[in-house]
Structure 1
Amino acid sequence: MSGLLTNIHESKELLKDSGNTYLVSGNYDYYHYLCDGFDDRGWGCGYRTLQTICSWMTYNQSCGTQVPSITEIQEILVQLEDKPKSFLKSRQWIGSFEVCLVIDKLYDIPCKIVHVNHGDELQTIVDVLVNHFDKFGSPVMMGGDIDASSKGIMGIHVGHNGASLLVVDPHYVGKEKTKEFLFANGWVKWQRLTDFLSSSFYNLCLPQVKAQNKIR
């Protein structure tokens, strides 16, 4: 559809052997810095993660809505009066709340927002994420860190030594080579909950919709 790599979490290097793994269900495209020629380096990670989620909607819902550009996302937020007109064509970042608003506007799909005050409290949302991927299987947006960076969460693994999140990082700049290349260079990875910044807050946006092939 877009010429971008699809389902980059499916690299064989990402397999987890022990414990239980819950993954995104359905296809999505990997959106990242500069992937469409628009230079959003340093501020566009939230938009790119939103675009990745929107691509999942396009693949897995009978909506007929195409993935919006960064400019179109800004226009939607201004129309919704969440942002002032000065937001248009700016380099202001967006987080999980704005992602929730755009998904609701474009697809009429509600999202659940989960707030975690500190990274060392992420263990408290393990069951929430397990239930989400088991019930819905839609991609999750995660914002936070000290620099307010955003990322996609495509799964969770619960093992004997704790839980890990399957992170799809939109900060990559370059021409995609292979899924294995992206994994080898850390753009898609399993990240243990204990490796997230303990001093940072985190907000997660969980679209409350199933892929059509997951509906029973």
Structure 2
Amino acid sequence: MGWGCGYRTLQTLCSWVESLNKVATGTTSPTSVPSINQIQTALVDIGDKPSNFRHSKQWIGSVEICLCLDVFYDIPCKIIHIEKGSQFKQYCSEIFHHFVNVGAPIMMGGETDNSSKGIIGVRLKNPALLIADPHYFGTVNSAKHLLELGFIHWLPVSELHEDSFYNLCLPQARTPVKSNKS
């Protein structure tokens, strides 16, 4: 079965939630995040997708990620729809406040810029997004290694597709959350 970068970004957000729970409970045991099959099954079970979505190679975006975080962890999410990449700069302050007040990574998907991106930081002066690229696979030796390979990088908002819309999924979890994974 194939997978898309939206699934990997969701799994990154789930890993963040799992790490919150580990810190709160003092647990050191390994955690698991939902598999692609579990994600697809959840979307079918809640009626968002038809049954043939299961085991397909269809992509997911910000809305599906919002739904899955609710299903798996009871986490509400805020969706920000940005009509054009050229308007993105005006949302950087809101993204900054999300990181200050909540801290959760953000999923970003777009129309013509349709590769999912995990936003893990924002710079307000010379606005840019700190991106965790979900296309990396393999063993992570260090953050420096990911930086050198370009899988963690600053993306100036001026480089976003001017005429593409963007959807952001901002998880609203501030404290440890329950897990509904089966």
In structure 2, the residue corresponding to 1:51 is in which secondary structure?
helix
Letter in 2 for 1:164: A
Question: What corresponds to 2:49 in structure 1?
Answer: 83
Consecutive unaligned residues in structure 2, runs of 5 or more: 177-182
For residue 112 of structure 1, report the CA deviation from its aligned partner.
0.2
Distance 1:84-1:100 versus aligned 2 partners, 3 A rule: same
Question: Residue 189 of structure 1 is aligned with which of 153, 167, 176?
Answer: 153
Q: Name 1:207's counterpart in structure 2.
A: 171
Cα RMSD, aligned residues only = 2.0
Q: CA deviation at 1:94?
A: 0.1
In 1, Cα distance between equivalents of 2:56 and 2:166: 24
1:54 is aligned to 2:8:
no
Residue 211 of structure 1 and its aligned partner are, at CA, apart by: 4.8
8 Å contact kept, 1:167–1:189:
yes
Q: For 1:147 and 1:202, how far apart are their aligned partners in 2?
A: 8
2: CA distance, partners of 1:211 / 1:167 = 24
Number of the residue aligned with 1:24 = none
Given residue 136 of structure 1, which amino acid in structure 2 is its aligned partner? V
What is the match of residue 36 of structure 2?
A: 70
- Runs of 4+ aligned residues of structure 1 deviating over 4 Å after TM superposition are 62-65
| Cα distance in 1 for residues equivalent to 2:152 and 2:82 | 22
Contact map agreement 2:131 2:154 (CA 8 A) in 1 = yes
Q: Unaligned stretches of 5+ in structure 1?
A: 1-37
Distance 2:13 2:105 in 1: 6
What is the CA–CA distance in structure 2 between the aligned matches of 1:150 and 1:183, rounded to whole Å? 18
For 1:156 and 1:84, locate their aligned partners in 2 and report how far apart those are by CA, in whole Å: 36
For residues 141 and 53 of structure 1, the distance between their equivalents in structure 2, rounded to whole angstroms, comes to: 8
Checking the alignment, whether the CA contact within 8 Å between 1:144 and 1:203 is kept in structure 2 is: yes
Q: How does 1:127-142 map to 2 (within 5 A)?
A: 127-142=93-108
SS at match of 1:149: coil
Does the Cα contact within 8 Å between 2:129 and 2:155 map onto a contact in 1? yes
Query: TM-score, normalised to structure 1's length?
Result: 0.73
Task: Give the counterpart letter for 1:60 in structure 2.
Answer: L
Using the TM superposition, give the Cα deviation of residue 124 of structure 1 relative to its aligned residue in structure 2, in angstroms.
1.6
Q: Which residue of 1 aligns with 2:179?
A: none
CA distance in structure 2 between the aligned counterparts of 1:131 and 1:147, rounded to whole angstroms? 25
- Structure 2 counterpart of 1:110, which letter? P
> Could you say which residue in structure 2 is the equivalent of 1:18?
none
Matched residue SS, 1:156:
strand
Residue-pair matches, total: 170
CA distance, structure 1, for counterparts of residue 74 and residue 61 of structure 2: 19
In the TM superposition, what are the counterparts of 1:1-216 in structure 2 within 5 Å? Answer: 39-40=2-3, 44-61=4-21, 66-159=32-125, 162-211=126-175
Contact in 1 for aligned 2:84/2:162 (Cα 8 Å)? yes
Give the Cα separation in 1 of the matches to 2:129 and 2:96. 10
Q: Is the 8 A contact 1:140 1:206 kept in 2?
A: yes
